[in-house]
Structure 1
């Protein structure tokens, strides 16, 4: 599917589901990583992540388009277009659009931590386990204010 086909699909869904025309541009955006699509407030255009079409098929793509069209139409009407707004939630239910898109497999794998860092206080020997690195030049032990020392890094599978 190319941008022209996507544009026609978005226009078709907008008329059929919302009864209103989509007068702006819909394009695939390869730079989107963690989201299925986005509605741009300034230009009123819609960007769609093409990987969702490749991984999950056209039904997921249609759900993403409906979701973004909910943002689009509500924003143009001056109603609550954000995820937390009641207008948005009602319109999602009315057109049977998902509130969140499915998670891409590579995104899920990237989020899991691959290591645990272990630090120890040089004064009181209190041990700290962390997923993220601690700047031992800036931070001290919370119990006795002693100097922290990195003991080891444990890899997780």
Structure 2
């Protein structure tokens, strides 16, 4: 399914942004998807987030959390309870799969199931090489002057 907006001109003039355009094109599929189980996305601070999913009735062994490249997949498969005979069944007892797109450098820190609420802690871990750093200004000869001086030495020789 294609979105109403055509990203082809942008794909031609950018390099390395393919994943971004795929996410934008496929967002309409996610918006029309199923809304079970309901969830909250909470920003705790600048680098910490938490996803709370309402998974009442599920045990820890029935839930699987998988962190793939830039994607978090939470699946739940309910085991059969063959010994109970229901007169009415109003509590959702269906399997689910919920996918969350993760930004670069977002890692799953932990997961906890308590009182029917699955809490998944997420942390943004930016590598040292990508963090901003201060560059000291020293009394060193500018690089362009050093190149000119080296060129003059080789010309004299």
TM-score (norm 2): 0.22
Larger RCO of the pair (alpha carbons < 8 Å, separation 6+): 2
Whose radius of gyration is greater, 1 or 2?
2
Per residue, is there more strand in 1 or in 2? 2
